[in-house]
Structures are given as structure tokens and as C-alpha cells.
Amino acid sequence: MIQTPVCDLLQIRHPVVLGGMAGATSVPLVAAVSNAGGLGTLGIARTPAEQIPKDINAIRETTTRPFGVNFLHFMARETAIDAALSARPPVFSAAWPRADQDLRSLFGRAHEVGSKVMFMVGTVPEALRAKAAGADVIVAQGTEGGGHVGWMASMALLPMIVDAVDQTPVLAAGGIADGRGLAAALALGAQGVLLGTRFLATTESPLHPNFKQAVLDSDGHDTVLTEIPDIARANVWPGAIARNRRNAFIERWAGREWELRARQPEVAAALERARETGDADNASLLIGQDAGLIRDIPAAGEIVERIVAEAEALLQDRLPRLVRKG
Ligand SMILES: Cc1cc2nc3c(=O)[nH]c(=O)nc-3n(C[C@H](O)[C@H](O)[C@H](O)COP(=O)(O)O)c2cc1C
């Protein structure tokens, strides 16, 4: 077992968290991760408010373990936040606020209903802002990760954030897909890890089978930081850039963003069709560099167990043998 203080805080067995990926998480995936002793998190940034309590009830019907829900702060609707908090999720997580948004009052509301607050950041100043607002757990997200990320790589960012926030527990995210990543994150001062891309390629993942296969096909070198998916959806993120597979969709528009803006509604409709039909060349495929470490599509619970077992073996056997007296 790998036990860190965040396991006690969140009442989880293993310090492994499923990133709350809107549109790429589902009740079965969340329950599978929580039932395996990690923390499953449902991405509800785009879920209609009336559906949120239903989803939270459905999670409670499939697991008795703690779980989380995740908002994208800059686009969170009040009705959706109210709906989520009224269902008292054990963990309320969020990321990507605008500079003018008040974190303290939101975190206070979550605390009032008994939720722990987890906040994901990509810079030291954002981590300090989240700590000052009362976050219980800070996720340091490196640029290697899939989806919307910042510019700093985990190797430098994580220990900087650990130092900056002092006693507040930090989880590492971005580029982690196996037990080596967990062991490295612990060495850098994290108390656990949060994974996105690795959980996309699982049996419970709601992604189209072609997209799961695309994660396996990626060698990790074929992702790119781009604003193309957000321009196509006419969605401006505060300070984030998207890490997407460099597929035909990205190649088509790279360097022609001006034209993409002009044809946005048409391209958004084509993107949606590609998502529905599993057209991996023409969809937005948000995946991290760690796709190069992913070679199978197991059950999500098996991922949690494997990661912990591999990290344990590293910490107990391989790494201690490297240290010699004298
Ligand atoms: C498809 C996809 C969707 C994501 N959506 C969200 C989201 O809605 N909210 C959020 O906080 N993070 C989101 N993320 C980021 C993850 O929470 C996490 O930080 C990231 O996946 C970690 O890097 P990794 O993919 O290398 O594991 C998303 C990531 C992916 C791959």
C-alpha cells in the first residue's frame, strides 16, 4: 500500500485520481476507479443542471466510496453549481478560473455542504491563489497532459508548487500513465497523481472505440499544443491551450486559424459529426504525451491496481538498492 496524508483526507485507499474530463468520463468509469480504491471524478462542465443530481445519485448507486465532480470554472453556470452542491459530492473539483472570478466564495459554499475542494493549476501564482481561497488539495498540472494545459512541464512545476503551498497536499497531473509516474511524482513531493489520458483507454471509458484505439496508436510524439479545437467551438479558455493529437483536423487548420474563425459554425458541426461517428482523423482528440506509454485497454480498476503495485515495487526494491553507504 502507498498511503499519503491525502488518502486520509479524501478517505481513499490509493492516491490515484481520475481527472474529471467533461465528455470523457461516465458514471461507470467514475464508479470503477472509486471501487478500486482511487477517486473517480465525473466531468460535469457541460452537463445540464437537471442531469447533475441524477448522475451523482447514479454514482452513489454503484459505489459506496468517495468520488468527485469537476467544473471548468470560467464556464460554470450557477444553476449547475447549485445542482451539484445540493447533492453534496464528497469532492468538488474545478480548474481554469478567469482572473476576476471569486474562488473563496465558491470554495466556501462547497465546504458548507461538506465537500472537499480540489483545484487544478498550471502555475505557482494560481496555486497560491487556490490555497489562499481555501482549497483542500491542489493539482499541479504539467503541460505534458491531455486536454487543456498550461506551459510548464511537471518536472519543474510540481516541486515549485509543493514548495509554494507548504502544508496543502499536492497531486501531480500531466504525462503520468503508470507506476513509474506515481513513484516520480511522490519523489517530487506530490501526495498522489491525477490521470486523464490513461483512463481514456479503458473498458469503462465512454469514448468511441476508434478514439480508444487512437490513444494506443499515438506514440506520444504526435500531440501538439493548439487553439484550433477551441476556435472551432468558439470557446475562449482563460490561459489554457489544448493538447490534441496532430491529426487531419489539426493539420487542415494549422496556420489558417483566420479562415477557421470565418467558417466556425460549419467546422463545429463537422467536428460534432466526427465525434459521433468515431472519425479519429477529423475529430478533436485531446490526449497527452503519455499516450506513448499506453498499449492496452484494460478495466479502469486494473489500472489503479497496476499503478500502485508498480510504484510500490519501485519504492521498495529498485530505488532503495541504488543507495549505498559510504
Ligand atoms: C479528453 C480530456 C478532457 C479533459 N477535460 C477536463 C475537464 O473537463 N476538467 C478538468 O479539470 N480537466 C480536464 N482535463 C485534464 C485532466 O483533468 C488532467 O489534468 C490531464 O488529463 C492530465 O494529463 P494526462 O492526460 O497526461 O493524464 C481533460 C483531459 C482530457 C484528456
Measure the CA–CA gap between 122 and 172, rounded to whole angstroms: 11
CB atoms within 10 A of CB 175: 27
Return the exposure string of 304-321: e unless at least 16 CB atoms fall within 10 Å of the residue's CB, then b.
bbebbebbeebbeeeeee
Residue 4, pLDDT score: 98
Angle between helices 78-86 and 103-112 (to 10 degrees): 30
**Ligand 1 atom closest to 290 (CA):** 26
The pTM assigned to this predicted structure is 0.98
Mean pLDDT in order along the chain per 10 residues (326 residues): 97 98 98 98 97 98 98 95 98 96 97 98 98 98 98 98 97 98 98 98 98 98 98 95 98 97 98 98 98 98 98 96 89
Instruction: For residue 240, report the distance from its CA to the centre of ligand 1, in Å.
Output: 12
Kindly report, residue by residue over 145-195, the tens digit of the pLDDT. Answer: 999 999 999 999 999 999 999 999 999 999 999 999 999 999 999 999 999
Ligand 1 neighbour 174 (Cβ under 6 A) = yes
Contact 55, 30 (CB under 8 A): no
Within 8 A by CB and 6+ apart from 146, the residues are 196, 197, 200, 223, 243, 286, 287, 288, 290, 291
Strand partners, 195: 18
Instruction: For residue 19, report the distance from its CA to the centre of ligand 1, in Å.
Output: 6
Ligand 1 neighbour 181 (Cβ under 6 A) = no
* Domains of the chain with CATH codes: 5-205+296-321 (3.20.20.70), 209-289 (no CATH)
User: Which residue's CA is the closest to the ligand 1 atom numbered 1?
Assistant: 286
**Ligand 1 atom closest to 174 (CA):** 23
Residue 243, pLDDT score: 98
Q: HSE-up of 113 (CA within 13 Å, CB side)?
A: 19
